Chains A and B, each alone.
Chain A
Amino acid sequence: MTLPVLSLITWSPFVGALLIMFTARHRPLAVRLIAAVTTGVSSLGALWIYVVYDREAAGFQFYEKFPLVPPLGISYELGVDGISLLLVLLTSVIIVAGVFASWTITVRSQEFYALLLALVTGVFGVFVTLDLFVFFLFYELAVLPMYLLIGVWGSSGEIRPRGIFAWAYRETGVGTKEYAAMKLTLYLLFGSAFILVGIFALYVNAGASSFSFVDLEGVSFAPAVQRWVFLAFYVGFGVLAGIWPLHTWSPDGHASAPTAVSMLHAGVLMKLGAYGVVRMGMGLLPGGAAELAWLMGTVACVNIVYGALSAMAQTDLKYVVAYSSVSHMGIVMLGAATLTETGLNGSVFQMFAHGVMTGLFFALVGLVYEKAHSREIGKMGGFGAVMPGIATAFTVGSLSSLGLPATAGFIAELLTFLGAWRSDHRWWLFPAVAGTFLTAVYVLRVAKQIFWGPPSPHFHHLEDARGPEWVALVLLVAVLVLFGMVPGLAITPVDTATLPLLARIVGF
C-alpha cells in the first residue's frame, strides 16, 4: 500500500490543531512549534506530490478512496490533477508564511493557531476532494472558523455613515470587526446555500447514486440543468471569489482580519471560489459554462476595472490591498471565461500568482501595522529608510501586482490577455489591459507615499522585519520571482488538466 499522501497533507494541520488544543495550554512557543511542524509536514507533502506528479499523464493522481455512506454514494475520495496540484502548493506556501508572519501574536495564541490550522485542513480538503458531499463539508470547514478568527483577533476600522443609507450604517455597526466577521460569514453562507442546492441538483439528476466527481463528470446533464446549476455554482462560488457586486465582504473582512487570516483568506480562500467555478462549474457542466461564459467574462471585466478604481480611492492600506484582490480575481475569472487554453492556463496561473502576491502584501501590511500602529496611508512616509527589507518586498509585490515581467503576475496577465483576444468576446482585452495600468497607478502611488519621500514626523522607532518574519517575506518573494522567470513550473502540470476540461466544453 502506498502512503496516502493527500490525506497526510490534509489532516496534518488538523492533528496539529488537536495537539495545540489539548497539550499546549499556556505554552505559546509549543503552540507555534506544533503549528510550524504540522504545516511543514503538509508543505513537504505538497512539494513532494508537486515533484513526482506525472506531467505526461492527465487525470487525477495520488488517488485514494474508501466508502463513507455507501447507500447514498458518499465516499472519501481524494485525488489531484494539474490545477489542484498547483493550488495545494499555493496553500502550503501561504500557510507556512502565515504561521511565521503571525509569530508575534500574543492574545489567545492557542485558540488562534488551532482555528487557523483547522481552517487550513478545510482548504486542503477542498482542493483534493473528489466527492462533492465531502467537498462541501471541507468547504464549510474552511469558511466558518473565519468568523471567530476575525471577530476575536481582528481589528476595527472607522467608516463614516454617509449617503442615503447612512442610518443603516449606524444600525449595523459598519467598520467594526464584529460587523466584518458577521458580514463575511453570512455572505459566504449565502453562497454555500447555492452550492449545496447545485450539488444536490446534480446528484438527483444523475440518478442519486454517487457524489463522486469522476462519476458525475461522465453524466451529460440536460441543457436546463446545465444552465441553472452552473449559475448556482457561479453565484455560490463567485461570492467567495469576490465577483462584482457580491464582493463587498472582501474589503471589510480582509481589512479587519489579523495578518495570517488575511493572507490565507485573500491568498487561498478566494482561489477556492475560483477553483470551485472552474472545477465544479466548468468541469461538470460544460454546456452551462459555454452558455454563460459571456456573463462570467463581462462581470470579470467589471471586477478588474472597478476593483482597481476602488483600491485607488482607499486611504487605509489594508483596504487598498483588499480591493486589489477584487481586481485581480477579475483576471482569474476572465481567464476562465475565455474558454481558451492560454486563457485558462492564465487563470490558474493567476490564482497561484495572486495568492502568493496578496499573501505577501498582507504579510507586509501586517508588519507595517505592527510597527507603526497605523494603517492610514496619508500619515505614513519615508519608511523605506528605516525598513528597507519591507520596502523591497513591497516593491516586488507591487511589481507582480501590476504585471511586471520576471514576476509571476506578468505570466498570468499575459496568458489571460492572449486568451481574451482569442475568445468570442475580444473586447475583454481592453478592460483587462486598462486594469494593469490602473493597478500601476494605485500600487506605485501607495508605495511612493509609504516608503519614499522624507520620513514622516508621525512615527518614531520604526524597525525592519525580524527573525521569523523574514522567513515569510523571503519565501513569498522567492516564489513570485521563481514562477515569473520559469513559468513552465506551473504551466506544464496545469496544461494537462485544462486541455481535457476545454475539450469537453468545446465538444459540447
Chain B
Amino acid sequence: MDANVWLPVLVLGLPFASFVLLAVVAPLRRAGGAAGAVSIAAIAPAFLVAVLVWGEGLGSEATWSWIPADEGPTATVGLLVDPLSNAMLVLVTLVSLLVQIYSLAYLHDERPASLGRYYTFQSLFAFSMLGLVLSPSFIQMFVFWELVGLCSYLLIGYWYTRPTAARAAVKAFWITKLGDLGFVIGIVMLWSATGTFEFRALFAKAQEHALAIEGLGTIMFLVYLGAVGKSAQFPLHVWLPDAMEGPTPVSALIHAATMVTAGVFMVTRAQPLFVLVPAVLALIGWVGAFTALLAATMACVESDIKRVLAYSTVSQLGYMMAAAGAGAPYASFLHLLTHGLFKALLFLAAGAVIHAVGTNDIFRMGGLFRAMPQTGVVFIVGTLALAGLPPLAGFFSKEAILAGVWEADMTGPFLMLALTALLTAFYMFRVVFVAFFGRAPAAGHPHEPSWTMRGPLWVLAALTVLVGIRLAIGSVGEHHGPGWLPPLSVAAALGGIVLAWAAYQRGALDPGRLAATFPFSVVDVLARRRYGLDALYAGLYRSFILGFSRLIGWIDRYLVDGLLNFLSAWTLRGGDLLRRIQSGHAQDYVYGVAFGVLLLLIWSQWWPR
C-alpha cells in the first residue's frame, strides 16, 4: 500500500487502537488518568499524521468488500482521501487533541473509573468521526454517522446519574434517529435504483446524466433528512440545546466543532447529487436560513451560557446549510472549518468560566474579566470571530456564505442571514458584557484555569486569528460578492455589538422594556418557549407514541390474548360439564354399556338397509 492509503489508515487506526485497548483492558480504563494519557498518546500522532496528509495534499481511494453477495459486494468499506476529507481530518484530530488535553484538567475531580470511561468514549468518537469524513460511500458514512451519534448519546449522558443528563442523552438519540430514518430509506432507495452506495460511482453516473432516476428528488430529500437531524436543522434542532447537559469539552468537540457538522459535510460531499435536484437544494437553503434566524432569536433570550452557545451553533449550522443549498459548498465548508475552531474556543472558554464560578447562568457571573483576563481575551477573540469582524476567521467564511446566497438569487434567505448576523453579534456580546464586564458579583471564586486548560484555549485563539489573516491575504475565496457586502456585514456585526453594549453595559436601553414592546414582545414570548417545538415533541411522544403503545399493549393483552383465554376458558367449562358423567360408580358405567349395547341391537335389527 502506498502512503496515500496507509497514512490516512494510520490516522483512523490510532484512535481505534486506543479505544479497543481501553475497552478491553479494564484495569487501564479504571486507572483514569492513565486512560487519558493513552487516548492523548493516540490522538496526538494522529493529528501530526493528519497535518502531513493535508500538507502533502494526498489523494486516493481504496475500498474493500464488507457485506458480500453473489454478484459483487452489497456494501464496501474504504477510504476516500481528497482535499475535503484532508481538511476535516486536521480539524477533527486537532480539536479532539485539544479537548482531550483540556479535559484532563476540567474533569480532574471525577472518579478514575468515570474518567476512563470518558476517554474510552473520546477515542471511539475520534475514530468514528474520522471514519465518517473518510467515507467513500453512503453506507460507510451512515455507519459512522450512527456511531458518532452513539458517542454523542454516551457523552451527553456522561453524568448518567443526573436525570436531566439521562433525558437529554435519550432525546438527542431519538431526534437524530428520526432524521436518520430518512437517511436510511434514502440510501436504500438509491441503492435499489443504482446498485451502489459509492460516491465515485454515483458521481460518475451523475456526470454522465445516467442518474435520471424517477424520484431522485425524493431520495435526496430523504438523505437530507439525515442531515436535518444531525446538523440540528429546523424542525429537528431541539436536541442540541439539551445536549449541553454533557461535560463542556464534549459540547465543544461533538456539539460544536465536529459531529454536528457531519450533516453539512455530507451535503457538501454529495453536492454532485444534490445539484441534480434544484428543488431540494432550494429547500436546504431556505430551511438553513430559517434555522439560522430562529436559533439566533432563541439565543438572545437564553441566560445559560452553554445554551447560548448551543443556539449559536444551531444558527451557524443553518448558515452552512444555507450556503450548501445556495450552491456554494465551498463557502459552506470554509465556514464549517472556521466555525469549528472558534466555536470550540468559545465552548472551552465557557467551560473554564463554568469551572471557576460553578454556574451556567450568565446573570450570576460578572466582572470576570478582572479575575480571569486570559480566558476573557480568548473568549472575546472567539466572539469577534463568531460575530464576523475582520480580520478574524469568521468574517471571511460568513461573507463567502452571504455572497453565495446573494448570487444564487435567494433574497429571502439572504435577508434572514443578514438579520442573523446582527443578532449573532448582539447575543454574543450580551454574554461578554454581562459575564465578563457585568457589575453583578460573580458566584464562586473565579480564577484563571490551569495551563492544561489555558493551553488549548490559546492555541485555538491563535488559529482563529491566523486563519483569518491567511484568508485576508490569500485569494483563497472563489466567491467575490458584490462590493457592498463586506461593509454591510461589518455594519451588521457592529450594530449588534453596539446594541448589546447599550442594553447591557451602558444601560441606555432597558432590555426588559424593549422585550415588552410590540414586535419584540411576540418574538420574546415565543423564543422563551422555544417556539413550542419542545412541548410539541414531548406532547407527540407522550400522547401519540406512548398512548398508542398503551392502546396496542392493551389490545394485545386483553383482546388478542383475551380471545385465546376465552376459548381456553370455554374448553375448561366444557370439560367441567362433561366431567359430571364420570360419577365414579362402576355400576353407572355398566348401565351405560348395557344401554349402548341395547341401542346397537336395536340399530342392527331395525335400521333400514
Contact = CB atoms under 8 A, between A and B. Distances in A.
Contacts of B550: 313
A452 B167 CA distance: 9
Interface in B55-69: 65-69
Interface string A291-321: 0000000000000001001101110000000
Contacts of A312: 545-546, 549, 553
Given A310-B552, A422-B192, A444-B173, A454 B163 contact: yes
A405 B566 CA distance: 44
Given A418-B188, A452-B166, A488-B67, A313 B160 contact: no
Interface size range of chain B in the complex: 35 or more
Interface string A307-349: 0011011100000000000000000000000000110010000
B476 to A, nearest CB: 36
A405 B163 CA distance: 27
Interface stretch (B36-44, B174-182, B253-261, B283-291): B174-182
Contact of A453 (B144, B146, B166, B569): B166
Given A172-B569, A448-B166, A313 B553 contact: yes
B557 A159 contact: yes
Nearest to A449: B166
A310 B160 contact: no
A240 to B, nearest CB: 16
Interface in B150-201: 150, 157, 160-163, 165-167, 169-170, 173-174, 177-178, 181, 184-185, 188-189, 191-192
Nearest to A430: B185
Contact of A405 (B142, B170, B554): B142
Contacts of A165: 558-559, 562-563, 565-566, 569
Contacts of A454: 161-163
Contacts of B65: 488
A425 interface: no
A421 interface: yes
Select the residue from A422, A448, A495 with max chain B CB neighbours within 10 A.
Answer: A448
A136 to B, nearest CB: 25
Contact of B150 (A313, A399, A491, A499): A399
Interface in B542-572: 545-546, 548-550, 552-554, 556-566, 568-570, 572
A66 interface: no
Select the residue from A165, A406, A410 with max chain B CB neighbours within 10 A.
Answer: A165
A137 B569 CA distance: 30
A495 B162 CA distance: 47
Contacts of B545: 312, 438, 441
A371 to B, nearest CB: 19
Contact of A455 (B69, B157, B161): B161
B86 to A, nearest CB: 24
Nearest to A488: B68
B271 interface: no
A169 B567 CA distance: 11
Contacts of A39: none
Given A313-B549, A405-B146, A441-B545, A172 B74 contact: no
Contacts of A345: 69
A269 B556 CA distance: 22
Given A422-B192, A495-B68, A164 B177 contact: no
Nearest to B576: A171
B174 A440 contact: yes
B147 interface: yes
A379 interface: no
A492 B165 CA distance: 43
Given A405-B143, A440-B174, A452-B166, A172 B70 contact: no
A499 B70 CA distance: 8
B564 A415 contact: no
A440 B177 contact: yes
Interface string A415-452: 10110011000000110011011101110110010011
A385 interface: yes
Given A488-B66, A495-B69, A172 B173 contact: no
Nearest to B546: A312
A410 B146 CA distance: 10
B142 A437 contact: no
A355 interface: no
A382 interface: yes
Given A310-B549, A385-B161, A495-B68, A172 B568 contact: yes
Contacts of A385: 161
A417 B188 contact: yes
A168 interface: yes
B150 A418 contact: no
Nearest to B140: A405
Interface string B112-155: 01000000000000000000000000010011101100100000
Interface string A168-207: 1101101000000001000000000000000000000000
Given A172-B568, A448-B166, A421 B181 contact: no
Contact of A437 (B74, B177, B192): B177
B161 A452 contact: yes
B553 A314 contact: yes
A457 interface: no
A245 interface: yes
A493 B7 CA distance: 34
A172 B188 contact: no
Contacts of B192: 418, 421-422
Given A418-B74, A452-B161, A444 B553 contact: no
A397 interface: no
A397 to B, nearest CB: 14
A341 B67 contact: no
A488 B563 CA distance: 44
Given A248-B561, A406-B147, A418-B192, A384 B142 contact: no
A73 interface: no
Nearest to B176: A440
Contact of A309 (B165, B181, B548): B548
Q: Closest 4 CB pairs between A and B?
A: A313-B553, A163-B558, A168-B569, A165-B562
Given A172-B565, A434-B181, 13 more contacts: A162-B558, A165-B566, A165-B569, A183-B568, A248-B556, A310-B552, A314-B553, A345-B69, A404-B150, A418-B74, A429-B188, A453-B162, A488-B68
13 contacts: A165-B563, A165-B566, A168-B568, A312-B549, A410-B146, A417-B184, A437-B177, A440-B174, A444-B173, A444-B174, A452-B165, A454-B161, A488-B65
Interface of B: 65-70, 74-75, 113, 139, 142-144, 146-147, 150, 157, 160-163, 165-167, 169-170, 173-174, 177-178, 181, 184-185, 188-189, 191-192, 545-546, 548-550, 552-554, 556-566, 568-570, 572-573
